[in-house]
Structure 1
Amino acid sequence: MTQPHISSRKADFRVYLGSTLLFIYIVISTLIVGVAILGGYFLPFQWRYKFADIWIDCLLYMLKLCCGLSYEVEGLEHIPQDRAAIVLSKHQSAWETVALRQFIRPQTAVLKKSLLQIPFGGWALATLKPIAIDRQNQKEALKMLIDQGIERLQEGLFVVVFPEGTRVAPGAHKKFNAGGAMLAQKSGFPVIPLAHNAGEFWPRNSFLKYPGVIKVKIGPPISSADKKSKDINAEAEAWITQAMAKIEAEKH
């Protein structure tokens, strides 16, 4: 792994106040929306998904209002309109676990099974067709990713995978896991590479959120036809690495 970029960003009163207000909003809104989604358990999936979408739209609005943090997306034209795809995304922050739902719809994501045990929020998430894996059992986790991933793709849901497996600090790089690429190979669906620098504004394991504009770059679809998973993975990793370098260069 390469050495992470160490930010010199300083937190002032506005950062602490905005982050605190956002935290309070997240706690209260998650409880309310979680109850609403659980209460709608017997409604069609599209209804529950819409409840979650409204929560995310409001959360990102509050993130901008309280913390001065917004985002810009380049490459939206690369998202297929007539079929689903596997999205292989850079993973730096908690931001992308929710924000990608605002412009890649409808979708599900691969996540830790333990997240579904969180009261209300996790319980509600469990009704939204996530692919929840146990990282301690890698063989079973891979089988679940492929089996459930194919089902979700055939239902028309984009499947978001974070191939680094965990949040990686800005400037650092972790070798991509092959699960998402294997899903592409087995399913025949294309891969959409996605890069962003959310970790510079919403650092991993940090309470504080800093003002600014998160840059998101979406790459052209990578065909999985007649390709080995390692080649799909290498192509996606190379594009994301190059896009991250461009994001860094554009700051100067």
Structure 2
Amino acid sequence: MTPLISSSRKADLRVILGSTLFFIYVVLSTPIVGLAILGCYFMPFSTRYKIADIWIDYLLFMLKLCCGLSYRVEGLENVPLDRAAVILSKHQSAWETIALRQIISPQTAVLKKSLLQIPFGGWALATLKPIAIDRSNQKEALKMLLEQGTARLQEGLFVLVFPEGTRVAPGASKKFNAGGAMLAHKSGFPVIPLAHNAGEFWPRNSFLKYPGVITVKIGPEISTQGKSSKEINAEAEQWIVKTMDEMAT
């Protein structure tokens, strides 16, 4: 198993330089790709999705080239090939908001509505069928999650949900919100639990990215048949917490 790296580790010149180069690439490439996606607004969704895919491929390549940060995946065989599913994932870093799209695809995600207001990147993201919610209105946010999430699943898109609601530092945990489990219960689609240790290498709210190999573990499919949303949520949370504990030892 890849050894964990403390987010409090002092950065050396390589880390600072690599993180700076990666940041420059993101800043320069985002407007270009954003405009390309917006320019394809009247074309099929698959075209816009493919452009975003290519951009993320290059982002992950540049992350490895500049920062020495890559990843490995265990349990990919647990992802269903014949239908979509609700992905309930651990949330530690900005990394998983990018990379999980390439690991389990096609995919959309539940995110903050305010992100769509970011010039170029946010505008382009708005054309990729996100489920953008306003967290200040929880009742309306849940309604939107259930309605739009069900529609996306029926279209064949995996729906990524971070049940903790916000990024949580390595070694810490937060009670799981039941929204994702409620979506699975209402729609009848299964749940795929997912754990990773990205926060050990790309700490939350951090400019710095440390070299290493992020481990992503995909758990067995959780059927929603005959289960309440509370039971579904508890089963996913139990698997993720147990797997995170195992990864930390």
- Listed one character per residue, the Cα deviations across residues 188-222 of structure 1 (whole Å, up to 9, x for unaligned) are 00000000000010000000000001011000100
- Listed one character per residue, the Cα deviations across residues 89-127 of structure 1 (whole Å, up to 9, x for unaligned) are 000000000100111000000000000000000000000
Indicate how the Cα distance of structure 1 residues 13 and 115 shifts in structure 2: closer, same or farther if over 3 A, else same: same
Gaps of 5+ in 1: none
Q: Which residues of 2 match residues 1-252 of structure 1 at below 5 A? A: 7-249=7-249
Q: How far apart, CA to CA, are the structure 1 residues paired with 2:102 and 2:158?
A: 13
Percentage identity across aligned positions? 80
Amino acid at match of 2:135: R
Q: How far apart, CA to CA, are the structure 2 residues paired with 1:205 and 1:103?
A: 23
Q: How far apart, CA to CA, are the structure 2 residues paired with 1:66 and 1:128?
A: 28
Q: Secondary structure at the match of 2:205?
A: coil
Which aligned segments of 4 or more residues in structure 1 are displaced greater than 2 angstroms?
5-8
Shift of 1:8: 4.3
Shift of 1:245: 1.1
- Listed one character per residue, the Cα deviations across residues 201-251 of structure 1 (whole Å, up to 9, x for unaligned) are 0000000000001011000100011110000000000000011011112xx
Gaps of 5+ in 2: none
Instruction: Name the TM-score, length of structure 2 as normaliser.
Output: 0.97
- Listed one character per residue, the Cα deviations across residues 21-47 of structure 1 (whole Å, up to 9, x for unaligned) are 000000111111000000000010000
Q: How far apart, CA to CA, are the structure 1 residues paired with 2:10 and 2:64?
A: 19
Q: How far apart, CA to CA, are the structure 1 residues paired with 2:122 and 2:212?
A: 29
Q: Secondary structure at the match of 2:65?
A: helix
Amino acid at match of 1:121: G
Amino acid at match of 1:142: L
Q: How far apart, CA to CA, are the structure 2 residues paired with 1:6 and 1:210?
A: 10
Q: How far apart, CA to CA, are the structure 1 residues paired with 2:47 and 2:29?
A: 18
Instruction: Name the TM-score, length of structure 1 as normaliser.
Output: 0.96
Amino acid at match of 2:153: L
Q: How far apart, CA to CA, are the structure 2 residues paired with 1:74 and 1:116?
A: 32
- Listed one character per residue, the Cα deviations across residues 116-150 of structure 1 (whole Å, up to 9, x for unaligned) are 00000000000000000000000000000000000
Q: Secondary structure at the match of 1:183?
A: helix
Shift of 1:7: 4.0
Q: How far apart, CA to CA, are the structure 1 residues paired with 2:187 and 2:40?
A: 31
Q: Is residue 53–residue 102 contact of structure 2 (8 Å, CA) maintained in 1?
A: yes
